[in-house]
Amino acid sequence: MRTSTPPPVQILFTYADHLNAQLGGLGADRELASLSAAEARDLEEQNRPLWSAVRKLHDVGVTRTSKLLARKRPNLIPIYDSVILSVSSDTDCRRP
């Protein structure tokens, strides 16, 4: 059975140059918990274009987007799933 959304690994390979360029703007992987509130807000702003770019690729949803980005920055970008989204006040991550 073929789906319209390619597997996550294929997305990473297909758009590697574009995603790596945007990931470079986030800097090296570091512990999310070690950031100050101001650094976390700055990171969120820096991550917004990357998040939007991935969401637009083949109609990738919130959970898959977070999983793809977390693969590249595992300590910095959390995975959003239905449980996290149900208690999260961050509505921006739901938008494409």
Average pLDDT over residues 36-64: 86
Our count of domains for the chain comes to 1
Q: How far is CA 43 from the centre of its chain?
A: 12
Instruction: Tell me which residue range forms the domain holding 51.
Output: 8-26+37-94
pTM reported for the whole predicted model: 0.70
Residue-averaged pLDDT of the chain: 80
The pLDDT confidence band at residue 27, using thresholds 50, 70 and 90, is confident
Q: Does residue 1 lie in a domain region?
A: no
State which amino acid sits at residue 33: A
Task: Tell me what pLDDT residue 94 has.
Answer: 53
Structure tokens that stand for 33 in this block: 């918990």
b/e for 4-31, b at 16 or more Cβ within 10 A? eeeeeeebbeebeeebeebbeebeeeee
The pLDDT confidence band at residue 34, using thresholds 50, 70 and 90, is very high
- Cα separation, 54 vs 51, whole angstroms: 5
Task: Tell me what pLDDT residue 3 has.
Answer: 55
Average pLDDT over residues 50-63: 82
Q: Does residue 3 lie in a domain region?
A: no
